Amino acid sequence: MGEAVQIKLAHLGIASIQVAAESVRDIVEIMLETDPNLGISAITGLDLGENIGVMYHFRLNQKLATLISEVPKSNPRIQSITDVIPGANFHERELFDLFGVTIDGHPSPGRLVLPEDWPVDLFPLRKDAKIDNLPAQGESSTEKIASAPEIEGTLVNLVVGPQHPALLEPEKFSLKVDGEIVRAVEPRIGYVHRGVEKAAETRTYLQDVYLVERICGICNSCHATCFVEAVEKILGTQVPPRGKYLRTIILELNRLHSHLLLLGHAGLEIGYETLFQYMWRDREPIMDMTELITGNRVIASSIAVGGVRRDLKETDISKIKLEMEKLRKRMDFYQNLYDKEPSLKMRTQNVGVLSKEDAFKLCVVGPVARASGVSMDVRKDDPYEAYGEIPFKLITRNEGDTYARLLVRLDEITESINIIDYALEHLPTGPFRIRAPRVVPAGEALNRVEAPRGELLHYIRSNGTAYPERVKVRTPTFANLPSFLKTAIGGTIADVPANFVSLDPCFSCTDR
Amino acid sequence: MHRQVGLKMAVDLYFFFRVLVFPGFTFILFFTFFCDWVERKIEARMQNRVGPAVAGPAGILQPLADFMKLLTKEEIVPKNAKRFVFKFAPVFSFSILVFAVSLLPIDGSSAIPGVSFQGDLIFIMGLVTVANFLLFLSGWASSNPYGSIGAARVLTQFLGYDIPLFLLALAPAFLAGTLSIATIAASQYLPYIILAPWAFVLFVITLQAELEKDPFDIPHAESEVVGGLETEYCGGKLAFLHLTRDVQIVFGAALVVELFLGGPYGPVFFGPPALWYTIWFVLKLLAVVLLSEYLTCLFARLRIDQIVTANWKFLVPLSVLALALTAALAVWIYPMPV
């Protein structure tokens, strides 16, 4: 094996290891011995002409490390690693869908992001994929609609989605229920798959910033930042300090907006409309502040390669500080409410408990992982922008239930307010942006940021033109979804919405 | 001869006026719409919203507009539905509830004159159970998983909560020494909310469950079972389901007024007593609606297993205790002239 392994330090994470396809599993097992909590972040496929590149991005001791391998395009097969790292399940299925790499020994192979009636020999992310003669979709769909109950023994098939009041975006979950108890969950995602990764290859880097921003309306700045930082890594551009601080402020506003939205929405899911209305009212000033800084309420479009698009006026700083102070007072109210309100606790405590071991096994990220006692936050593990200079607390809880997942976000809101306050007070002077070239030299970069929902990962490969060769996006919900499939089992139907919403699911992100 | 016919016609006219116009069907219908508006407005203001604001002054016509709109929509019956039950259960349920309200004294006597009898309290409670059961049937007949689960939840909930509701309704009966609602209402020179506050509190909580309002609105949990038993309904049938729910709320509130708040009786200042009695009745009823909405806004929705446990572990024993306490007081402390 010796000569087959090539190690490059500080490449795609702390290091990249190139191995033959047959020994991927062995290497993973060796890595597992080094770090038993080894998690997988993503699996990226690459069209290399004759071969298909398969890259496994791991979280080794909370740092990224990449395992690179190649399989021939004529017979693309690779051994599954889902049995050693259960969190790899969805990533491997996605690799099959988009690149046609057959995963040997996968426990539940099948379509994940593409429709069931998609041609079997068409793999959209391969460079030679022709989609001109794609058969029309519609009548040929094999999916069943949710009209009649399908009964298997005593189990009733209760279909949640693609359209359902508890889901704000279309995705399907078939619950096998026994009375009110859920016995099994079968997910079917991909209803809002828009092929963003493919579309990004046909646009320039400049256009791509706007494209990736539109992957998700809520954490839009996070996507833009993650993409832009990866491009800057390839370019070797240094963002001026003021630009970094302004980005941090925009990112934290994004987090505030997302967390407030989620906490309110959680109220709606457990039938607490008053909480929903209150939270969303308090979210309004955050939107106004985003508008004040970036010019836009929702899709900020403020992050650009080399910095940010607009400077912050001195007069606006006091306005933002005032709003933050108001929000801090409101947070005391909500803290009190979450601490004391009995009906809210009854609905969320001990619901959907995810143990620390399972959190590691299923490779969950962000607040979901932190609520299960995993101290993991890209802002601390891999500081980007100004996070390395700003002191803030990493919030973790040990219960691992829905209540903990909501409370982690509640506490993070306070931390975000602190971060914004600190950043405003220590805002460096100087330029907020430097001009960056539009043509990016050949290279590749892997970058991650802490989106409100957890670790967001972008991989960019450049071929020296103004168009990227490959853009890979792994969103936090994609990583968190497996935990819901596990924790829903054994609970009641009534627990499903509360449990599910505590992941802060975003299908627009998941499907891309 | 002519005079007799004329008198009979006048009596008949009076009868029909009472049953059909005031305080009968028309009054109950429009009062229901009004209560629905009050409810929505209160809830909206409590939640920092505006609430209905477009149809009529301050949106007062919104419930009527919603009802009319639904009536104009296409009627669809699902293929697998049990057609007869699916179509008629909501209308039957609605009529039974309106009938139940007409038996309650509104302007000093009930809408249907001279119908009050010893034991009509039990009769009315029975009617409401039948109305609830018809609602269950309507969901069950729609042959939809969400409809069936919603219907099963309605059944679970009202079967459980009917027992404490019934027990607690007997507490005022003990105090008044009669099972006739009109007599119970009339004999409250001191409202029973003062004489038996424990029974009142429990009654309001149980009623909240009976009316499927937060924290007990489990059959309507849209994030879990979409529309519950209403899922497959549309058009006029849905309009009647909504109306049934609103009449149910009016009925529940009216029952609280009759049993604990002294019925329609209150000070009469000038003019006909019937006018003042109606005003008192409406005001008291709105106070109950306000209380109920306040509770709705205050809590999250509980889970079905939690409310079943809450019922059998707490509400039923507490109701028995409350009833025993009230009965004991009725015998030894508050001697009432029957």
pLDDT value of position A141: 47
Whether B54 and B179 map to the same domain: the answer is no
pLDDT value of position B307: 82
For A494, which of B148, B299, B304 is closest by C-beta distance? B304
Contact residues, chain A, for B45 at CB < 8 Å: none
Q: Do A277 and B143 touch (CB under 8 A)?
A: no
Is the confidence at residue A371, as pLDDT, over 70? yes
For residue B163, being part of any structural domain is answered with yes
Q: Do B300 and A492 touch (CB under 8 A)?
A: no
DSSP track, A345-382: HHHHTTSS---HHHHHHTT--HHHHHHTT----HHHHS
Task: Please give the residue of chain B at the shortest CA–CA distance from A341.
Answer: B299
Q: Do B298 and A158 touch (CB under 8 A)?
A: no
Whether B68 and B121 map to the same domain: the answer is no
Contact residues, chain B, for A492 at CB < 8 Å: 303-305
pLDDT value of position B117: 78
Instruction: Tell which of B140, B301, B314 to mutate to test the A interface (max A CBs under 10 Å).
Output: B301
Q: Is A168 on the interface with B (CB under 8 A)?
A: no
pLDDT value of position B10: 76
Query: Domain ends where: B19, B48, B72?
Result: B72
Least confident segment among A389-398, B28-37, B208-217: B208-217
pLDDT value of position B222: 67
Is the confidence at residue A171, as pLDDT, over 70? yes
For residue B298, being part of any structural domain is answered with yes
Shortest Cα distance from A500 to chain B (angstroms)? 11
Task: Please give the residue of chain A at the shortest CA–CA distance from B220.
Answer: A271
Residue contacts between A and B (CB atoms, under 8 Å)? 89
Tell me the percentage of chain B whose pLDDT exceeds 90.
7
Q: Are B192 and B276 in contact (CB under 8 A)?
A: no
Tell me the percentage of chain A whose pLDDT exceeds 70.
95
Beta strands of chain B (E only): which ranges? none
pLDDT value of position B335: 63
Shortest Cα distance from B43 to chain A (angstroms)? 9
Is the confidence at residue B337, as pLDDT, over 60? no
C-alpha span between B72 and B202 (Å, rounded): 41
Whether B47 and B102 map to the same domain: the answer is no
Give the residue-averaged pLDDT of A310-317. Answer: 86
pLDDT-based confidence at A41, cuts 50/70/90? confident
B235: containing domain? 82-332
Residue B21: DSSP 8-state: I
Residue B219: DSSP 8-state: G
Q: Which ranges in B17-75 belong to alpha helices (H)?
A: 25-46, 62-71
Is the confidence at residue A424, as pLDDT, over 60? yes
pLDDT value of position A1: 44
Whether B126 and B191 map to the same domain: the answer is yes
Among candidate residues B325, B264, B306, the one with its CA nearest the CA of residue B27? B264
For residue B30, being part of any structural domain is answered with no
Residue A134: DSSP 8-state: P
pLDDT-based confidence at B338, cuts 50/70/90? very low
Instruction: Tell which of A279, A343, A496 to mutate to test the B interface (max B CBs under 10 Å).
Output: A343
C-alpha span between A124 and A99 (Å, rounded): 7
Least confident segment among A473-477, B164-168, B299-303: B299-303
pLDDT value of position B12: 81
Contact residues, chain A, for B214 at CB < 8 Å: 271, 273
Q: Is A154 on the interface with B (CB under 8 A)?
A: no
Give the residue-averaged pLDDT of A281-310. Answer: 88
Whether B170 and B49 map to the same domain: the answer is no
Using one digit for the tens of pLDDT, what is the confidence trace for A318-356?
A: 889 898 999 998 898 888 888 888 888 888 888 888 888
For residue B12, being part of any structural domain is answered with no
Q: Do B217 and A271 touch (CB under 8 A)?
A: yes
Total domains present in chain B: 2
For A165, which of B43, B80, B226 is closest by C-beta distance? B226
pLDDT value of position B100: 87
For A156, which of B43, B145, B217 is closest by C-beta distance? B145
Whether B152 and B64 map to the same domain: the answer is no
Contact residues, chain B, for A149 at CB < 8 Å: 143-145, 148
pLDDT-based confidence at B37, cuts 50/70/90? very high
Number of Cβ within a 10 Å radius of residue B9: 10
Shortest Cα distance from B222 to chain A (angstroms)? 6
Is the confidence at residue B71, as pLDDT, over 80? yes
For residue B225, being part of any structural domain is answered with yes
Contacts of A421 (CB under 8 A, 6+ apart): A321, A324
- Complex ipTM over 0.85: no
A348-351 contact pairs (CB < 8 A, 24+): A348/A266, A348/A270, A348/A401, A348/A402, A348/A403, A348/A406, A348/A498, A348/A502, A349/A399, A349/A401, A349/A402, A349/A403, A350/A401, A350/A403, A351/A401, A351/A402, A351/A403, A351/A491, A351/A495, A351/A498, A351/A499
Whether B179 and B306 map to the same domain: the answer is yes
For residue B24, being part of any structural domain is answered with no
Average pLDDT score, chain A: 83
C-alpha span between A366 and A376 (Å, rounded): 7
Among candidate residues A265, A116, A94, the one with its CA nearest the CA of residue A191? A116
Q: Do A346 and B306 touch (CB under 8 A)?
A: yes
Task: Please give the residue of chain A at the shortest CA–CA distance from B221.
Answer: A271
Contact residues, chain A, for B147 at CB < 8 Å: none
Give the residue-averaged pLDDT of A197-217. Answer: 88
Whether B157 and B49 map to the same domain: the answer is no
Among candidate residues A452, A455, A390, the one with its CA nearest the CA of residue A424? A390
Whether B123 and B146 map to the same domain: the answer is yes
Using one digit for the tens of pLDDT, what is the confidence trace for B263-290?
A: 888 888 887 888 888 888 889 999 999 9
Instruction: Tell which of A265, A346, A351 to mutate to test the B interface (max B CBs under 10 Å).
Output: A346
Least confident segment among A111-125, B115-129, B262-276: A111-125
Least confident segment among A18-22, A308-312, B122-126: A18-22
Whether B52 and B109 map to the same domain: the answer is no
Q: In what order do the strands lie in the sheet with A181-188?
A: A150-152, A155-160, A172-178, A181-188
For residue B28, being part of any structural domain is answered with no
pLDDT value of position B33: 92
Whether B188 and B122 map to the same domain: the answer is yes
Give the residue-averaged pLDDT of A425-431. Answer: 87
Where do the domains of chain A lie, and which CATH numbers do they carry?
Answer: 2-104 (3.30.460.80), 197-471 (1.10.645.10)
Is the confidence at residue A139, as pLDDT, over 50? no
C-alpha span between A219 and A451 (Å, rounded): 6
pLDDT value of position A146: 39
Q: How far is CA B23 from the centre of its chain?
A: 16
Q: How many residues are given for chain B?
A: 338
Residue A426: DSSP 8-state: T
pLDDT value of position A133: 65
Q: Do B221 and A346 touch (CB under 8 A)?
A: no
The number of C-alpha atoms within 13 Å of B279 and in the hemisphere containing its C-beta is 11
Phi, psi of A126 (to 5 degrees): -75, 145
Average pLDDT score, chain B: 84
Whether B65 and B87 map to the same domain: the answer is no
For residue B128, being part of any structural domain is answered with yes
Give the residue-averaged pLDDT of A468-482. Answer: 88
Contact residues, chain A, for B218 at CB < 8 Å: 494
Q: Which helix (H) or strand (E) holds A46?
A: strand A39-47
Task: Please give the residue of chain A at the shortest CA–CA distance from B217.
Answer: A271
pLDDT value of position A90: 86
C-alpha span between B267 and B273 (Å, rounded): 9
Q: Are B35 and B286 in contact (CB under 8 A)?
A: yes
Helix B120-141, helix B145-176: angle, nearest 10: 180
Is the confidence at residue B161, as pLDDT, over 50? yes
Give the residue-averaged pLDDT of A222-243. Answer: 89
C-alpha span between A350 and A471 (Å, rounded): 39
Shortest Cα distance from B299 to chain A (angstroms)? 6
Is the confidence at residue A160, as pLDDT, over 80? no
pLDDT value of position A266: 86
Q: What share of chain B is helix, strand, coil (3-state, %, to 5)?
A: 70, 0, 25
Is the confidence at residue A394, as pLDDT, over 60? yes
C-alpha span between A176 and A160 (Å, rounded): 10
Is the confidence at residue B2, as pLDDT, over 80? no
pLDDT value of position B287: 92
Is the confidence at residue A152, as pLDDT, over 60? no
Query: Domain ends where: B53, B72, B91?
Result: B72
Among candidate residues A443, A471, A389, the one with its CA nearest the CA of residue A232? A443
Q: Do A277 and B47 touch (CB under 8 A)?
A: yes
For A148, which of B80, B224, B297 is closest by C-beta distance? B80
Q: Is A94 on the interface with B (CB under 8 A)?
A: no
Task: Please give the residue of chain B at the shortest CA–CA distance from A155.
Answer: B145
Among candidate residues A261, A263, A254, the one with its CA nearest the CA of residue A407? A263
pLDDT value of position A138: 53
Query: Domain ends where: B54, B72, B90?
Result: B72
Q: Are A174 and A157 in contact (CB under 8 A)?
A: yes
